[in-house]
Amino acid sequence: DIRMTQSPSSLSASVGDRVTITCQASQDISNSLSWYQQKPGKAPKLLIYDASNSETGVPARFSGSGSGTDFTFTISSLQPEDFATYYCQHYDNLRSFVTFGGGTKVEIK
Amino acid sequence: EVQLVQSGAEVKKPGESLKISCKGSGYIFRTYWIGWVRQMPGKGLEWMGIIYPGDSDTRYSPSFQGQVTISADKSINTAYVQWSSLKASDTAMYYCARAGRSGEVATIFDYWGQGTLVTVSS
Which residues of chain A make contact with B59, given a CB cutoff of 8 A?
A: 96-97
| CB spacing of B44 vs A100 below 8 angstroms | yes
Q: What is the mean pLDDT of residues B17-30?
A: 97
Q: pLDDT per residue over B43-89, tens digit each?
A: 999 999 999 999 999 999 999 999 999 999 999 999 999 999 999 99
CB contact A37 to B (< 8 Å): no
In whole angstroms, give the CA distance from residue B108 to residue A50: 9
**Which amino acid would we find at residue A16?**
G
In whole angstroms, give the CA distance from residue A3 to residue B7: 32
pLDDT bucket at B104, cuts 50 / 70 / 90: confident
Q: What is the mean pLDDT of residues B23-37?
A: 96
Chain centroid to Cα A66, Å, comes to 12
C-alpha distances (whole Å) from B38 to each of A43, B27, B85, B118 are 11, 24, 17, 10
Print pLDDT tens along chain A (109 aa). Answer: 899 999 999 999 999 999 999 999 999 999 999 999 999 999 999 999 999 999 999 999 999 999 999 999 999 999 999 999 999 999 988 888 899 999 999 998 8
C-alpha distances (whole Å) from B43 to each of A84, A88, A101, B24, B57 are 14, 14, 11, 26, 29
Q: pLDDT per residue over B61-74, tens digit each?
A: 999 999 999 999 99
pLDDT at B105: 77
C-alpha distances (whole Å) from B50 to each of A55, A100, B12, B15 are 22, 15, 24, 25
pLDDT bucket at B101, cuts 50 / 70 / 90: confident
Residues 6+ away with beta carbon under 8 Å from B58: B49, B50, B51, B52, B70, B71
Chain centroid to Cα A41, Å, comes to 18
How close is the nearest chain A Cα to the Cα of B119, in Å? Answer: 15
| Angle subtended at Cα B4 by Cα B3 and Cα B8, rounded to the nearest 5 degrees | 130
CB contact B61 to A (< 8 Å): yes
pLDDT at A1: 84
Which residues of chain B make contact with A97, given a CB cutoff of 8 A?
A: 47, 59, 61, 106
The dihedrals phi and psi of B31, each to the nearest 5 degrees, come to -100, 0
